[in-house]
Amino acid sequence: MTTERNPENTRMKILGAAFQEIHKHGYQGMRVDNVLKNTNLKKGALYHHFAGKQALGYAVLEELIQPRIAELWIDPLNDFGNPLEGIHALFEGLDAVWSDESFILGCPLNNLAQEMSPIDEGFRERIEKFFQYWKASIAEALKTGQEKGIVDISINTDDCAIFILSSIEGALGMTKNHQDKEIYYSCGKELKRYLNTLRA
């Protein structure tokens, strides 16, 4: 018989179930009892691995959400010779890696940002730092593009990076509300138009 106890495994099971709950209902809407129900575990397990609901929420953010976004949006930025084409490719590429349900539930990072920023400084700070890291990565890619002579030398890469980030999150948010990916496609087309204005 294989090991019946696997602490790291049970911890991840709780984290995964909590992520799904948060993704759909938000952090405040997530119910500890529901998380447990979806894992066949009991309170003893959860409160052994996590100090409380808040600690669980922070763990979901730092151990699941942020790494996943880094993997999808930030790390690949360097793989593109042209950052402008790269950013657009990443946006369009989301269609292939995100399920239909994900488009309906929205970006888990921005969901938490909008919900928690005014009421929990711990969430807000963590999310802000990550957004800044994301923004800096985009700005860095744009600067590299400038050095290559691909990107207009006169643009403010910080301004552009924030606008790109905002527009991506805004587009995903609008798609979430409309539950219609045509919104997402339209925004992709116009994002491309904007990116083209940054060419050298």
* Binding site residues, a copy of itself, CB under 8 A: 24-26, 28-29, 104-106, 110-111, 113-115, 117-119, 124, 127-128, 131, 156, 158-160, 162-163, 165-171, 173-174, 176-179, 183, 186-187, 189-191, 193-194, 196-197
Query: Token pair of 164, please?
Result: 């790109």
Q: Which structure tokens are listed for 156?
A: 């403010």
* 98: region left, alpha or beta (phi > 0 left; psi from -120 to 50 alpha): beta
Closer CB to a copy of itself, residue 118 or residue 149? Answer: 118
- Choose between 12 and 70: whose C-beta lies nearer to a copy of itself: 70
Q: In this structure, are residues 18 and 30 in contact, taking their beta carbons and an 8 Å threshold?
A: yes
In angstroms, what CA-CA distances link 21 with 34, 72, 109, 146, 175? Answer: 8, 21, 14, 43, 20
Of the two residues 49 and 84, which places its CB atom closer to a copy of itself in the complex? 84
* Pair of tokens at residue 190: 């116009």
Q: Select the binding partner of residue 54 from DNA, a copy of itself, none (C-beta < 5 to 8 A, by kind).
A: DNA
CB of 49 to a copy of itself, least distance (A): 26
Angle in degrees, 0-180, between the axes of helices 121-148 and 108-116, rounded to the nearest 10: 130
Residue 29: how many CB atoms within 10 A of its CB?
Answer: 11
Report the partner that residue 186 touches, choosing among a copy of itself, DNA, none (CB closer than 5 to 8 A by kind).
Answer: a copy of itself
∠ CA 167-170-174, nearest 5°, is 135
* Residue 80 binds which entry of DNA, a copy of itself, none, CB below 5-8 Å type-dependent: none
Q: Work out how close the CB of 189 gets to DNA at its nearest, in angstroms, rounded to a whole number.
A: 41
Residue among 63 and 85 whose Cβ is closer to DNA? 63
Q: What's the min distance (Å) between Cβ of 16 and DNA?
A: 14
Q: Which is nearer to DNA, 31 or 148 (CB)?
A: 31
